[in-house]
Structure 1
Amino acid sequence: MHSSPGQDPSLPFIRAVGRALPSHYATQEQLIEAFRGLWATRHFNVERLEELHRSVRVRGRYLAVPLDSYAKLVTFQARNDAWIREATALSEQVARQALERAELTPRDVDHVFFVSVTGIATPSIDARLVNRLGLRGDVKRTPIFGLGCVAGVAGLARAADYLRAFPTHTALLVAAELCSLTLQREDLSIPNIIASGLFGDGAACAVVRGAEAAGARGPRVMASRSVFYPDTERIMGWDVVDSGFKVILSAKVPQLVKDHILRDVEGFLTEHGLRRSDIRHWVAHTGGPRVLQAFEEALELEGEALARSWESLREVGNLSSASVLFVLGETLEKANARPGDWGLMMALGPGFCAEMVLLRW
């Protein structure tokens, strides 16, 4: 495994990543102000709710629709209709951007993997992209719902699995998450208050190419690992209620990271003859401040190792599955990676589970 990437051309590579945010933006203080009136009539301790909102260390977020439009989105149908409209538009935007960066056209795409957990559609969003992008009629499509935050890494791993079987092909992984449209305004539970302060909206697209495709530039996907933690189904997810998706978000998540991630990462790396010190680029999902701190502590990472994840969290919040692809895009563009560098992508999500992808430049 220690041969240079140029000597090991058998593995898929990530050619480019596109990223986009909706056009509507609100600072955290503007969002708190918008919630304050609602909270004040239904909760005796508004200061505590505001404190929870600020504790997630998010400066502001981009929103699928204007801030004053959310009060009108009362039903599941209204929320989901907005999700279909905005997710389709953002997905088209990031796919075009990623293909342009990869110096490819929509006709070059053989398979589209689409991941989201914030809305549902049949035909799925990837189907809606076929006409909008001008994809070929024989394009394969794999929509994946329900993986949540972990889907950015899991989707990349599944795309790489596919490309090992079809090494001349090109795949898109599109992640579109509009978390603001799932918010239950009447739910004053602690998980919902934290979610309303943490999660934002955005989309990302990775262009992944098989080993025999032309123009092999970018990190190789060397291996992947899935880890499922038994009896943790109520740690994270949704309860589907009349008004849409009601968040399940346990306070146990950081402790689960501390209990398991060191063993899981070291076991994965050891199989490939690597140690933690060999990883130069850590690409971690922006799960929230306590999750990022748990990653740092458990893996004994240096202060700057997760700097891009922390910055993404501050600037745009947790974008669920798209978050780790935002961090990957920043890493590809700004990390000054050298040939032979190792990277590790990692994310956690409903299940409860972890996904890891080993990269080499």
Structure 2
Amino acid sequence: MTRTGAGARLAGVGTAVPDTTYTQRELLDLLAVTDPRVRSVFLNSAIERRGLTLPDPAPDGSPVVESQGELLRKHTRQGLQLGRTAIENCLADAGARLSDVRYLCCVTSTGFLTPGFSALLIKELGIDVSCSRLDVVGMGCNAGLNALNAVDGWARAHPGELALLVCVEVCSAAYVFDATMRTSVVNSLFGDGAAAVAVTTAGAARETPLAPTLLGFSSRIIPEAADAMRYDWDDRQGKFSFWLDPQIPYVVGAHAPGALDRLLHDTGLLPSDIAHWVVHSGGKKVVDSVRINLGLTRHDVRHTTGVLRDHGNLSSGSFLFSYQRLAAEGRARPGDVGVLMTMGPGSTIEMALARW
């Protein structure tokens, strides 16, 4: 669906990852993984290093098992630290101040807390108490674009005021290590990180000629794949546990062209008109499936694969890490059109259309 009226633009972006990072081999050693099948999953993931918040090994060198309560506390503690840093970096990039923030939307899927990150970050950062806020919890990797749709609507309804979207994902607070293939795929993939983007129609931040304007959004739900990505309770472990169906990369890829058709409907644009692609770094198989089904080149998804290599799957904030790399590259030109794309539980594909 394309928007009418004054367009909201992405005025700045900022990210944050933990200080502690691990290569895939280091993680296998830390977790004492010897199963060759599990080791193969880790070492063939196209991921070189990830930021994670993990406990030190026990005195005998064995991995420490965290309780659900410890994981939730880590989600809150580390999430606040990462979220704060991402917001500060975003505002610096936008040339804005904390006092400019009038709307804060926080996204997370790696823990549950009330009050949510929006209230905690307003308190932590000293943002004006009249700031409007929204928490989007539990939607998964696609949620960054779902939330950006809401933030875009708020910014259009409040011309000249600054809105912030921040995705806070402490994926190491959603891990279950039990040596099964079910959990090994998840444990081989996700990393901790936060990403924030400033959205405004005009005036609240410095004018940035190459800041893209959001033109519209599209969603495509795949009901028959509703159970393909789940974060639910594991009675055996006494924790929440994430599960990915091995077929999900191919399901998402097969439905990607339909989502793009919907996005471009009535715009007069063709897929060949898209100059820039900002795709969620969901995993090697997911990215390859999307690339093949949409007819993209490896160059088109270079930032997606770069983020996957350097950070793993950062869940809802992954696409903003890719967007940050595109912005820093400086190759976008006035009039260029780009697509932002995320995929996640539902199963769902979210897209946004932007013009520089």
Q: Distance in 2 between matches of 1:271 and 1:302?
A: 25
Q: Distance in 1 between matches of 2:205 and 2:37?
A: 56
How far has the Cα of 1:73 moved from its partner? 4.9
Q: Distance in 1 between matches of 2:54 and 2:185?
A: 20
Alignment pair present for 1:52 and 2:48: no
Q: Give the partner amino acid of 2:11.
A: R
Please give the secondary structure, in 1, of the residue aligned with 2:71. Answer: helix
Alignment pair present for 1:25 and 2:17: no
CA contact (8 A) 2:18 2:51 kept: yes
Moved more, 46-55 or 225-234: 225-234
How far has the Cα of 1:192 moved from its partner? 1.1
- Write the deviation string for residues 148-204 of structure 1: whole angstroms up to 9, x where unpaired: 110122221221022222223211101111111211112x33231011111111111
Please give the secondary structure, in 1, of the residue aligned with 2:275. Answer: strand
Q: Give the partner amino acid of 1:229.
A: I
Q: Distance in 2 between matches of 1:234 and 1:189?
A: 19
Q: 1:35 aligns with which of 31, 35, 45?
A: 31
Q: Distance in 1 between matches of 2:202 and 2:23?
A: 43
Q: Give the partner amino acid of 1:232.
A: A
Q: Give the partner amino acid of 1:120.
A: F
Alignment pair present for 1:175 and 2:170: no
Alignment pair present for 1:270 and 2:265: yes
Q: What pairs with 1:151-162 in structure 2 (closer than 5 Å)? A: 151-162=143-154
How far has the Cα of 1:231 moved from its partner? 3.0
CA contact (8 A) 1:114 1:126 kept: yes
- Hey, what does 1:129 align to over in structure 2? 121
Q: Distance in 2 between matches of 1:140 and 1:31?
A: 40
How far has the Cα of 1:325 moved from its partner? 0.8
Q: Give the partner amino acid of 2:195.
A: A
Q: Distance in 2 between matches of 1:159 and 1:223?
A: 12
CA contact (8 A) 1:73 1:79 kept: no
Q: Distance in 2 between matches of 1:79 and 1:244?
A: 9
How far has the Cα of 1:270 moved from its partner? 3.2
Q: Distance in 2 between matches of 1:67 and 1:282?
A: 39
Q: 2:103 aligns with which of 102, 107, 111?
A: 111
- Hey, what does 2:184 align to over in structure 1? 193
Q: Distance in 1 between matches of 2:157 and 2:203?
A: 11
Q: Give the partner amino acid of 1:113.
A: C
Q: Distance in 1 between matches of 2:328 and 2:257?
A: 28
CA contact (8 A) 2:176 2:183 kept: yes
Please give the secondary structure, in 2, of the residue aligned with 1:354. Answer: strand
Q: What pairs with 1:216-235 in structure 2 (closer than 5 Å)? A: 216-217=207-208, 218-235=211-228
- Write the deviation string for residues 202-235 of structure 1: whole angstroms up to 9, x where unpaired: 1111011124646442100110112111132211
Q: What pairs with 1:59-70 in structure 2 (closer than 5 Å)? A: 59-68=48-57
CA contact (8 A) 1:18 1:204 kept: yes
CA contact (8 A) 1:146 1:350 kept: no
Q: Distance in 2 between matches of 1:311 and 1:214?
A: 29
Please give the secondary structure, in 2, of the residue aligned with 1:110. Answer: strand
Q: Distance in 1 between matches of 2:78 and 2:302?
A: 30
CA contact (8 A) 1:281 1:343 kept: yes
User: Can you give the 5+ residue segments of structure 2 that lack an aligned partner in the other structure?
Assistant: none
User: Can you give the 5+ residue segments of structure 1 that lack an aligned partner in the other structure?
Assistant: 1-7, 41-45
Identity %: 30
Please give the secondary structure, in 2, of the residue aligned with 1:68. Answer: coil
Q: What pairs with 1:335-346 in structure 2 (closer than 5 Å)? A: 335-346=330-341
Give the TM-score, by structure 2 length. 0.93
Alignment pair present for 1:306 and 2:269: no
How far has the Cα of 1:94 moved from its partner? 0.8
Moved more, 106-115 or 331-340: 331-340
Moved more, 285-294 or 128-137: 128-137
CA contact (8 A) 1:257 1:298 kept: no
Give the structure with the higher percent helix: 1
Alignment pair present for 1:319 and 2:290: no
Q: Give the partner amino acid of 2:123.
A: N
Q: Distance in 2 between matches of 1:82 and 1:280?
A: 40
Moved over 3 A (4+): 65-73, 211-216
- Write the deviation string for residues 74-100 of structure 1: whole angstroms up to 9, x where unpaired: 211111001100100111111111111
Alignment pair present for 1:351 and 2:346: yes
Q: Distance in 1 between matches of 2:30 and 2:7?
A: 49
Please give the secondary structure, in 2, of the residue aligned with 1:198. Answer: coil
Please give the secondary structure, in 2, of the residue aligned with 1:231. Answer: helix
CA RMSD of aligned residues (A): 2.0
- Write the deviation string for residues 236-279 of structure 1: whole angstroms up to 9, x where unpaired: 12112363321120112122123211122123213311111111
User: For the structure 1 residues 338 and 181, does the alpha-carbon distance in structure 2 shift closer, same or farther, using more than 3 Å as the test?
Assistant: same
How far has the Cα of 1:54 moved from its partner? 1.2
Give the TM-score, by structure 1 length. 0.91
CA contact (8 A) 1:234 1:248 kept: no
- Hey, what does 2:196 align to over in structure 1? 205
